[in-house]
Structures are given as C-alpha cells and as structure tokens.
Amino acid sequence: MNMDEDRTAAIAPSIASGPLGDLKGTLAELTEAGASYIHFDIEDGKFVPVMNIGVKLISELRQYTELPFDVHLMMENPEWLIPDLAARGANRVSVHFEACPYPRRTLGMIVENGMQAGLAFNPATSLPDLSFCLPYLSFILLLTTDPEIKDPPFLPTVLKKIKAGKTQPALLNISWMVDGGINHHNVREVVEAGADVLVVGRGIYKNGKIQENMRQLKEIIVGKE
C-alpha cells in the first residue's frame, strides 16, 4: 500500500442511506462506531430529480450527538437556505459549483453564518482555478457517481481531480471529500488518491451491521487489511 504510515481519512456516514425508521438509534450507533461527521444530502427535486430528506431532520437529530453535521445542498439557488441551516445546527455546508452563478458570494454567506464552506462538483465538471473563492473555501466535495440514479457505478477517474487540484497553489490547505459508491472494495483507492473525508452510504449500513462495516473500512484505510 503506497500510503504514508500516518495517512488516514475521516468517515462521514450518509444519514439518508440508513434505516429511516430509527434514526435516533442509527445516529447513536454511528457515533459509537467512530464516525467523524454525519452527512446530510438536501435535494430540491430540480437540480437532482429526488427529495429524500428535509432540513427539519438536522435540528431533530442535533440533540443526540456532538458530531459535526455536514450538509450537501443538491439544489439550485441554495442561498436562501443557508441561514436556516446554521440555526438548525449544521457545521459544514457544500453547494454545487454548477448551481451557483456567484460561488464566492455563496461561500461567503456560509462562512458569515458560522459554518465551514465547501464546493461540490458533479463527475462531469472539471475543476476550475478556484483562487477567487478564497478565503471562504474550506473543502471540496467530489461526486464519484452520477447523483441520484439507481445503483450508479463508482467512477474512479474522478479521483484524478484530487491530484490535479493539489497542484493549485490556492488549494494547498483545502480538504478533499469524496462521495459516491464508496465501499470496502474501493476505499483504499480513494484514500490513496488523496481524499481526506469519505462519505459512505450503503457501505456503512449493509446487512444492518454498522459497527462491523465501520471497523472494516477503518482497518482498510489504515492498511490493516
């Protein structure tokens, strides 16, 4: 494994992929299993043709864990929702580069509301020069599947964007987040590509064994498997 000895990555389980009938219990189990973040996808039904969960869930679950809440807005014109997310307890918010005509202004709104700001990119979107987004940009979220289609394939070529992005002087201190189709078969590849935070959905909840699945992912990440 070509990885520095201390190279690791944080895991951000996607709450929408879990058993929605007992989210309080699921959240407790994820916290105990060592999740670093809880990831929320908020869709508008237009930018992506689905609406899984609403923002009320963020405030409902906030009381049950101190883990940071990472919110991915998959929507057009997301600015109106930013103050509400802060009030509900979100810690990090990413908006889509494709959906924001003025991304620097939108990132600034997120920071002004006391949260970390990120830019998300669909698989087909190349990384532009993002120096104009400083000093607001804290992280980049790369989708490694086409969003919101049934059983989408993992797209490993997207990982090349991390290496390309790290050549940008403006992005030297940026955290890289990867979301889509990550499981125990490809997690090592994702981490070796330079990802810092991994959003994992079905790979965490498969067979109802959250603790076991999280343990296996972590062992692969640190090179024990």
**Tens of pLDDT, residues 137-149:** 999 999 999 986 7
User: Would you say residue 134 lies in a domain?
Assistant: yes
User: Would you say residue 4 lies in a domain?
Assistant: no
User: Would you say residue 112 lies in a domain?
Assistant: yes
Average confidence (pLDDT) over 175-189? 96
Average confidence (pLDDT) over 195-208? 95
Active site residues: 41, 179
What tokens does 121 get? 């990119």
Whose CA is closest to 110, among 98, 119, 121, 101?
119
Q: Is the pLDDT of residue 6 over 70?
A: no
Per-residue pLDDT, 149: 72
Using alpha carbons only, give the angle 40, 161, 12 rounded to the nearest 5 degrees. Answer: 25
Task: List, in sequence order, every residue forming a beta bridge with 72; answer none if it has no partner.
Answer: 41, 94
User: Would you say residue 1 lies in a domain?
Assistant: no
User: Would you say residue 96 lies in a domain?
Assistant: yes
What tokens does 13 get? 């389980």
Q: Is the pLDDT of residue 123 over 70?
A: yes
Are residues 176 and 162 in contact, defined by beta-carbon separation less than 8 angstroms?
yes
Average confidence (pLDDT) over 158-172? 93
How does residue 223 score in pLDDT terms, banded at 50, 70 and 90? confident
For 15, the domain range is 10-221
Identify the burial level of 121 via C-beta atoms within 10 angstroms of its C-beta, where 0-12 means exposed, 13-18 middle and 19 or more buried. Answer: buried
Q: Residue 171 belongs to a domain with what CATH number?
A: 3.20.20.70
Start-to-end Cα distance in the chain? 10
Average confidence (pLDDT) over 147-152? 77
How does residue 27 score in pLDDT terms, banded at 50, 70 and 90? very high
Number of structural domains in the chain: 1
Per-residue pLDDT, 50: 86
Beta strands in the chain (DSSP E): 10-13, 38-43, 69-74, 92-96, 116-121, 137-143, 175-179, 197-200
This prediction's pTM: 0.94
User: Would you say residue 31 lies in a domain?
Assistant: yes
For residue 9, the Cα-to-chain-centroid distance in whole angstroms is 12
Per-residue pLDDT, 90: 98
Per-residue pLDDT, 170: 87
Greatest Cα-to-Cα distance within the chain, rounded to the nearest angstrom: 45
Per-residue pLDDT, 7: 54
Average pLDDT of the chain is 93
User: Would you say residue 135 lies in a domain?
Assistant: yes
Are residues 184 and 216 in contact, defined by beta-carbon separation less than 8 angstroms?
yes
The 8-class DSSP code of residue 5 comes to T
User: Would you say residue 22 lies in a domain?
Assistant: yes
